[in-house]
C-alpha cells in the first residue's frame, strides 16, 4: 500500500515544479505599473484627459473606509481635475459617519469629495454586490468634455493606494508618446495588487489562490486583443468613460456576482483595449479580516470564477490537495518507507520555493508557509461549499446579504 503512495508524492513534486515554471514564464517579465519620476524632473505627469472620478462603493466597511480614503487623498496631483465619490449601499455599521469625519478632519486642500447614498434598488431588478452603488456613482452628472478624455476609477474599500498610484495609472492608460516613453493606452486598466494578509486564514489560503489565479488567467493573453482570455482585478479598475458607457457599465452586468470578469470580457469582446498590469508596488489589498469573511468570500466566488463548471471546480480542489496537502500527509509515512522521503521532501521544498518566488516577484512574505497542508484542506472544503451555495442559493451571501 505504501509503495502505491510514492507515485503520488512524485506527482505532487512534478506539479509544483511545473507550477513554478509556468508562473515564472508568465510573470517573470510581466509589465508592471511604475511610479512616475518626481515632479519637475521631466514632462508634466500626464496630458491624459480632462477629468477623473474615483469611486469607492461601500457597504459596512467601517474597518476599511477611513484608511482607504486617507490613502486616496494622499495621492500626488494626478495632472487633471478630479473628484472622490463614496457611494454607500445602505451600511448599518457607521461607515458613512466614519467617512464623513475623516474628510472633515483633513486640513490640506482636497479635491471635491462626495459621500452619497445609493438608495434602494429598482423593484423587480436583480443587482448583485457593488454593481448598484458603482452604477449610481458613474451616472452622476459629469463636467462638460469629451467622454474619451474622462476617467472612472473603481476602488474597493480594502484597497490602499501608494501616493503615486493615480498619476501612474492615468499616465499608463492615456497612451501616446512623450518624454517618459511610449505607453500602450487602455480603455480598461486593471492592476494585480499586492496581497496583504493579517490573520492565519489569509496566510493559509491567499498565497495559494494567487498562484492558481496566475495559472488560470494569463496576463499576456489578457493583454492580447487577438486572444479571448480577459481578466480584471475588481479592487482596481480604471475605465475610459466612453468605453465604460459603450459596454453599458455596471448596469449591463447588474446580476453578475463576479462583475470584474464580466466587465473585462465585455470590454474585450466589444473591441476596446484591456490592459492588465502588475501593480504590487503601488496598490495593496487585504481582502478578508477573519476566517468567516474569507469563507463567505471564496464560497461566493469560486464556482462562478470557473464559469459554473463542476468538473473544473472539483478538479481545482483535487489539484490543491495534491500539491499542498499530500506531501505533508505522506511525510509521517517516511518512517515506514524511506523511499517516500525524496518526493515528499522535494515537494515541500518546492512549496517553499513558490513562496520565495512570490516574495521576490510580488512582495508577499513567506509567513506560515509550512502550514500549506491546512491551506489545501481549507480550499478543498471551500470548493464544494461554493458549488452547493451557488446552485441552491442557500447561504450564498456577501456580508450577510443574499445573492440568490
Per residue in 51-74, pLDDT tens? 999 999 999 999 999 999 999 999
Residue 153 has pLDDT above 80, yes or no: yes
DSSP string, 274-314: EEEEE-TTTEEE---SSHHHHHHHHHHHHHHHTTT-HHHHH
Lowest mean pLDDT among 65-79, 189-203, 206-220: 206-220
Q: Which pLDDT value is given to residue 44?
A: 45
Lowest mean pLDDT among 60-74, 179-193, 228-242, 385-399: 179-193
Please give the average per-residue pLDDT across 274-280, as a whole number. 96
Q: CA-CA distance, 314 to 380, in Å (whole number)?
A: 8
Examine the domain organization and report whether 120 and 261 are in the same domain.
yes
Examine the domain organization and report whether 232 and 347 are in the same domain.
no
Residue 179 has pLDDT above 80, yes or no: no
| Residues 70 and 163 sit within 8 Å (Cβ to Cβ) | no
The residue among 3 and 211 whose pLDDT is bigger is: 211
* CB-side neighbour CA atoms (13 Å) of 371: 15
In a domain, 361, yes or no: yes
Write down the pTM of the prediction: 0.92
Query: What's the chain's average pLDDT?
Result: 92
Residue 217 has pLDDT above 70, yes or no: yes
Lowest mean pLDDT among 207-211, 251-255, 400-404: 400-404
Handedness of CA 275, 279, 284, 285 (dihedral sign): positive
In a domain, 36, yes or no: no
Examine the domain organization and report whether 262 and 339 are in the same domain.
no
In a domain, 404, yes or no: no
In a domain, 203, yes or no: no
Examine the domain organization and report whether 245 and 139 are in the same domain.
yes
User: pLDDT band at 404, cuts 50/70/90?
Assistant: confident
Mark which of 287, 311, 345 sits at the end of a domain.
287
Q: Which pLDDT value is given to residue 2?
A: 65
Please give the average per-residue pLDDT across 136-153, as a whole number. 94
User: In degrees, to the nearest 5, what angle opens at C-alpha 292 toward C-alphas 315 and 251?
Assistant: 75
In a domain, 106, yes or no: yes
The residue among 111 and 166 whose pLDDT is bigger is: 166
In a domain, 396, yes or no: no
Q: Which pLDDT value is given to residue 398?
A: 87
Sheet holding 274-278, edge to edge: 112-117, 82-88, 51-58, 150-155, 236-240, 188-192, 274-278
Lowest mean pLDDT among 26-30, 49-53, 108-112, 321-325: 108-112
Examine the domain organization and report whether 97 and 150 are in the same domain.
yes
Lowest mean pLDDT among 6-10, 239-243, 349-353: 6-10
Examine the domain organization and report whether 102 and 154 are in the same domain.
yes
Sheet holding 194-195, edge to edge: 159-161, 283-285, 194-195
Residue 180 has pLDDT above 80, yes or no: no
In a domain, 208, yes or no: no
Q: Which residues of 346-375 are buried (b: 16+ CB within 10 A; e: fewer)?
A: bbbebbeebbebbeebbebeeebbeebbbb
Q: Which pLDDT value is given to residue 46?
A: 47
Q: Which pLDDT value is given to residue 178?
A: 45
Mark which of 287, 314, 335 sits at the end of a domain.
287
Q: Which residues contact 246 (CB under 8 A, 6 or more apart)?
A: 270, 272
Examine the domain organization and report whether 247 and 168 are in the same domain.
yes
Q: CA-CA distance, 79 to 81, in Å (whole number)?
A: 7
Q: Which pLDDT value is given to residue 183?
A: 57
CATH number of residue 278's parent domain: 3.90.550.10
Question: Among residues of the chain, what percentage have pLDDT more than 90?
Answer: 81
Q: Give the count of beta carbons closer than 10 Å to the beta carbon of residue 26.
A: 16
Question: Among residues of the chain, what percentage have pLDDT more than 70?
Answer: 95
Examine the domain organization and report whether 145 and 163 are in the same domain.
yes
Q: Which three cell numbers, joined as nine digits, stand for 318? A: 483535487
Mark which of 287, 302, 332 sits at the end of a domain.
287
- Comparing CA positions, the residue from 188, 156, 147 lying closest to residue 169 is 188
In a domain, 395, yes or no: no
> What own/partner pairs with CB < 8 Å and gap ≥ 24 does 258-261 have?
258/301, 258/304, 258/305, 259/128, 259/129, 259/130, 259/131, 259/234, 260/190, 260/232, 260/233, 260/234, 261/230, 261/231, 261/232, 261/305
Q: Total structural domains in the chain?
A: 2
User: Which structural domain range is residue 370 located in?
Assistant: 2-26+293-389
Examine the domain organization and report whether 304 and 271 are in the same domain.
no
Q: Which pLDDT value is given to residue 372?
A: 97
Examine the domain organization and report whether 151 and 255 are in the same domain.
yes
Please give the average per-residue pLDDT across 36-51, as a whole number. 64
Please give the average per-residue pLDDT across 145-165, as a whole number. 95
Examine the domain organization and report whether 330 and 385 are in the same domain.
yes
Residue 157 has pLDDT above 60, yes or no: yes
Examine the domain organization and report whether 319 and 350 are in the same domain.
yes
Amino acid at each position: 500500500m505504501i509503495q502505491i503512495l510514492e507515485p503520488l508524492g512524485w506527482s505532487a513534486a512534478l506539479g509544483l515544479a511545473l507550477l513554478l515554471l509556468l508562473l515564472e514564464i508568465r510573470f517573470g517579465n510581466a509589465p508592471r505599473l511604475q511610479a512616475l519620476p518626481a515632479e519637475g524632473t521631466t514632462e508634466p505627469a500626464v496630458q491624459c484627459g480632462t477629468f477623473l472620478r474615483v469611486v469607492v462603493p461601500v457597504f459596512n466597511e467601517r474597518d476599511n473606509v477611513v484608511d482607504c480614503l486617507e490613502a486616496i487623498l494622499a495621492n500626488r496631483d494626478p495632472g487633471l481635475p478630479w473628484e472622490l465619490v463614496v457611494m454607500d449601499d445602505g451600511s448599518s455599521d457607521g461607515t458613512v459617519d466614519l467617512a464623513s469625519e475623516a474628510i472633515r478632519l483633513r486640513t490640506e486642500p482636497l479635491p471635491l469629495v462626495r459621500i452619497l447614498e445609493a438608495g434602494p434598488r429598482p423593484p423587480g431588478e436583480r443587482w448583485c454586490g457593488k454593481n448598484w452603488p458603482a452604477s449610481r456613482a458613474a451616472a452622476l452628472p459629469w463636467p462638460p468634455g469629451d467622454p474619451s478624455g474622462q476617467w472612472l476609477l473603481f476602488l474597493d474599500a480594502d484597497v490602499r493606494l501608494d501616493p503615486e498610484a493615480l498619476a501612474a495609472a492615468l499616465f499608463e492608460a492615456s497612451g501616446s508618446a512623450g518624454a517618459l516613453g511610449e505607453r500602450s493606452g487602455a480603455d480598461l486598466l486593471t492592476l494585480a495588487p499586492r496581497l496583504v494578509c493579517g490573520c492565519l486564514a489569509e496566510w493559509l489560503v491567499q498565497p495559494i489562490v494567487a498562484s492558481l489565479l496566475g495559472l488560470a488567467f494569463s496576463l499576456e493573453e489578457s493583454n492580447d486583443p487577438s486572444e479571448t482570455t480577459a481578466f480584471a482585478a475588481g479592487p482596481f479598475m480604471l475605465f475610459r468613460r466612453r468605453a465604460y458607457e459603450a459596454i453599458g457599465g455596471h448596469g449591463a452586468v447588474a446580476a453578475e456576482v463576479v462583475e470584474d470578469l464580466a466587465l473585462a470580457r465585455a470590454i474585450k469582446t466589444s473591441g476596446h483595449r484591456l490592459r492588465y498590469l502588475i501593480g504590487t508596488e503601488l496598490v495593496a489589498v487585504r481582502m478578508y479580516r477573519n476566517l468567516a469573511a474569507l469563507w463567505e468570500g471564496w464560497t461566493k466566488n469560486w464556482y462562478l470564477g470557473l464559469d459554473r463548471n463542476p468538473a473544473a471546480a472539483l478538479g481545482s480542489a483535487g489539484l490543491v490537495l495534491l500539491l499542498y496537502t499530500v506531501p505533508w500527509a505522506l511525510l509521517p509515512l517516511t518512517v515506514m518507507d524511506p523511499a517516500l522521503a525524496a518526493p515528499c521532501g522535494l515537494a515541500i521544498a518546492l512549496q517553499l520555493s513558490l513562496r520565495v518566488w512570490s516574495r521576490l516577484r510580488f512582495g508577499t512574505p513567506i509567513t506560515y508557509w509550512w502550514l500549506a497542508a491546512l491551506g489545501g484542506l481549507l480550499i478543498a472544503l471551500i470548493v464544494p461549499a461554493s458549488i452547493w451555495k451557488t446552485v441552491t442559493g442557500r447561504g450564498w451571501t456577501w456580508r450577510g446579504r443574499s445573492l440568490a
